[in-house]
Structure 1
């Protein structure tokens, strides 16, 4: 049998564009202008442009005030945002960028800055830089120059900047806090007083009254030499020359009292100090090492109170978790019995303390526990005089009981959910084997519940360790200790002590408060880490 070779494949005839046309259809032209942009792309472009506009504004502002750390953060953030949202490959980054920005801005930065402050003397009297302290000391220790005449003065404004215009010997001089007095030739003078200066607005009497504090505090230097003094005013219409009693010598870095010759040297603690120990205020921020961390145990006035507050913090957090969990699981087991009628309604009622805002509940309980006018003493106990919130021991008991009222519904909820996840056949099998209620609870119910609840107990401990709202609203930390440099009390926990040190003790000590905050962070983190390690063993069940 012979095989014939394949015949050549006939060429395909292009399909006509119209029936019977017999001519091939024209090819589709290629669009070399790139893919068409969707509406989503333009929306994204606009949003990125807006973000860049705000970021660029922040960069310029940071550049103007010399905040280099903020400037670098904004530059890096904008570059990251532009890359993530304009690149087709960075799909995952598009979802991570917002969270990362907020994480850095509100968590990492706050933690890093708190750590920095904890090693400084930042607080009242040490708020700013050394140069600011020198200017403040010079300004606060001024006296009128002997023989200084009183001359006509006009208060000027250039935006938010205030200045003075004075007439001295027929010559008009204008200056501000940052610019010494300089002669001005084209000013308008009427009746021996300046009425107009080009580039400045002359303030009226009402304008001066509205900004009286700024006007009285303003000091316009006579020249670049601070020893020449500055122009001040007390009424906004006349001025005089004042010179500092304490003059700063930059070469020796000292202040000298021109009246008695006392010399104040710059110290390592951020103050100018004389040989007899007298300090000038304000000071400036300096590093103090671990002094803030050790201040609570080196100051004899704080050793006892700090030890009590430290111990009470742990006791309060631990007892609160144990009591709320114990009452919560007891009620959960009691109302998990299907034979109980109306248990859904009762469960809803038990949740009410948890649904009501905690700080409002604390305020209500503070009123009810008032020893003189409270509902509990006056009505329920028939006029008893029990110092619920004024005695150290009773105040601690009251705090724990109120926290039990606020916390047991949460434990009741999570324990109810855990109980409903237990297989009923396992419980029935245990009963058939002769296990009693206590044995079933100890060897079956409790272990199964703890598998789900243990991590929540750890978080509850951390929450109560930092339960500032309850302490502040219920007792305010009182009753207070006597003879302590800070306003702290017997029911204060570490976090409320931090607030008192930072804001409520007269002299605000942000460095000490930051050191205590770091201590709380380390303790809670360590306890949580150890607790989670222990809960892994429960998973073997």
Structure 2
């Protein structure tokens, strides 16, 4: 029997030498592996992210948005640590999702919650310091007897500014954000012709931006009480001072023309002893006032309850009608005896293929009272106010939403029906169950197990179906007895939109709009939680 060849080890050979050589090769090649193409790509991407992050940090610093600044610094530090640390492999995959979740969900929800407890809105848009500056600027008047100064309009990028030649022959330049500062400039025949770091506008360019030039105010100094430089002809400037004077030590605002003294109140406004207030205020904490306003203020309480009831009716009605129609069509076209099923199914999906906002606009045109296709062609010139009558408008909204929504329900019901176990249906037939009894006791319960979560999501979607309401009726027709721009087909989310005044149709009240948004979240979340609990009971029964 042949024996394996014996291995001879030379006395001078070091058994560990190959391992040492391998370790040496690994050590020598580790640097090369670190700088492989994938690492270079990662380095470039992180560098770009850091660059955008630093830009955002500087922008937040300029706006004094300390919360955003802190969040961005923390996110940048975490991103750099995750993508350069060897032990953070799972975080490399989930960090982008976590960042988007934080920015677009957590931050938005937290900020909405904060705004809901403030008086943020028209007249209370900013901080107290910004409100003081706005009050002083809005009440500026030219000081009687003051001299005028030769003035030249300049630009720093897209930002306008003034270069002023004072009585001492010195040139001072400033913009809306930067007060006047003395500079070395070129003066020719009493006119400033060149300023370092600025471009001098010629007459044609000044005329093109005439409105901006005449409305521009350049602060004389860092103290708002010193006034600002204004111009009417872009050639001469004058000092305009505010009729209001702010005393920082006493924290009072005094009207120099009447002698009235205004002091801050707890509503974020300067208030006089007679109860009159100055127009511009600032944001302050008001507690749960916005929540009680929705229920107690006559301007909102009446429309709120009507809109809340219609929102539930619209959401429930939309889910019920689309599901029943979709289920009926799914049962019909699931019958193997029907010829051309594929063609019919394709045609039924067409409404679902059209974008929702476009479909709503098309129906708004077809339902037009005077020129719509429905009245003019189908009804032979009838004059029916489909979108102007309160009852018909609600029926029109439900009808259009049925047309837009039934294909989705048709698809999910078709899939659910095709996935039902055939042996269960055969057992029902063997037991002598009629088609209706088999559908009611076997098909429908099994169908609801798979479709109930989708019905819940459909309810939540329709509860906030802003696009349909906005594009089809705009919330109209308007309530006749409401002092706010709300209507019979408005749902809660469109009510929030109108109260927020995003389109400029009414006064902005972001605090109340945020409070209503939180209420919508609580309502939808509560109903969804109860419905999902019912879904688990169905699963246990089945």
TM-score, scaled to structure 2: 0.90
Are 2:9 and 1:12 aligned? yes
Contact 2:351–2:407 under 8 Å retained in 1: yes
Note closer, same or farther for the CA distance 1:200–1:368 as it changes in structure 2 (3 Å cut).
Answer: closer
Q: CA RMSD in A?
A: 2.7
Which residue is 1:470 aligned to?
Answer: 468
Indicate the residue corresponding to 1:522 in structure 2: 522
Decide which of 319, 325, 328 is 1:327's aligned counterpart. Answer: 325
Pair 1:140–1:28, CA change in 2 (3 A): closer
CA distance in 2, matches of 1:380, 1:347: 26
Using a 3 Å threshold, how does the CA distance of structure 1 residues 181 and 419 change in structure 2: closer, same or farther?
A: closer
Counterpart CA distance in 2 for 1:200 and 1:431 is 89
Q: Secondary structure at the match of 2:28?
A: coil
Residue of structure 2 in register with 1:234 after alignment: 232
In the superposition, relative to structure 1, how do residues 357 and 64 fare at CA in structure 2: closer, same or farther (>3 Å)? closer
Is 2:533 the counterpart of 1:536?
no
1:301/1:483 contact within 8 Å kept: no
Shift of 1:471: 0.7
Give the superposition deviation at 1:478. 0.3
Q: 1:517 to 1:179 in 2, by over 3 A?
A: closer
DSSP 3-state at the match of 1:489: coil
Q: What whole-Å deviation, never above 9, does each CA across 1:312-371 have from its counterpart, x for those lacking one? A: 001110111111111111111122221122222212211111122221111111111122
Structure 2 matches for 1:142-541, cutoff 5 A?
Answer: 142-159=140-157, 162-176=160-174, 177=176, 181=180, 186-222=184-220, 226-502=224-500, 503-504=502-503, 505-540=505-540, 541=542
CA distance in 2, matches of 1:331, 1:142: 70
Total equivalences in the alignment: 525
Q: Partners in 2 of 1:506 and 1:386 — Cα distance?
A: 30
C-alpha change, 1:349 and 1:143, in structure 2 (3 Å) is: same
How far 1:230 moved relative to its partner? 3.0
CA contact (8 A) 1:165 1:172 kept: no
Provide the C-alpha distance between the structure 1 equivalents of 2:221 and 2:356, rounded to a whole number of angstroms.
61
Match among 83, 108, 111 for residue 110 of structure 1: 108
CA distance in 2, matches of 1:151, 1:64: 32
Instruction: Check 1:525–1:191 CA distance in 2 against 1; reply closer, same or farther (3 A cut).
Output: same
In structure 2, the residue corresponding to 1:33 is in which secondary structure? Answer: helix
Which consecutive segments of 4 or more residues in structure 1 shift more than 6 A? Answer: none
- In structure 2, the partner of 1:101 is 99
In structure 1, what is the Cα distance between the partners aligned to 2:237 and 2:493?
51
Using the alignment, how far apart are the partners of 1:128 and 1:346 within structure 2? Answer: 58
TM-score (ref. length: structure 1): 0.90
Structure 2 distance, partners of 1:431, 1:411, is: 27
* Distance in 2 of aligned mates of 1:339 and 1:155: 82
- Which digits, 9 at most, give the CA deviation of each residue in 1:413-442, with x for residues without a partner? 111111112223322322232211211111
Which sits farther off after the overlay, 173-182 or 526-535? 173-182
Larger Rg: 1
Cα deviation digits, residues 282-307 of structure 1 (max 9, x gap): 21111221122222222113222111
Q: Residue 304 and residue 149 in structure 1: after superposition, are their counterparts in 2 closer, same or farther (change >3 A)? A: same
Match of 1:139 in 2: 137
Q: How much does 1:166 deviate?
A: 3.3
How many angstroms apart in 1 are the aligned matches of 2:160 and 2:399? 58
The offset of 1:475, in angstroms, is: 0.7
- Compared CA separation, residues 390 and 509, structure 1 to 2 (3 A): same
Q: Gaps spanning 5+ residues in structure 2: where?
A: 1-5
Q: What corresponds to 2:122 in structure 1?
A: 124
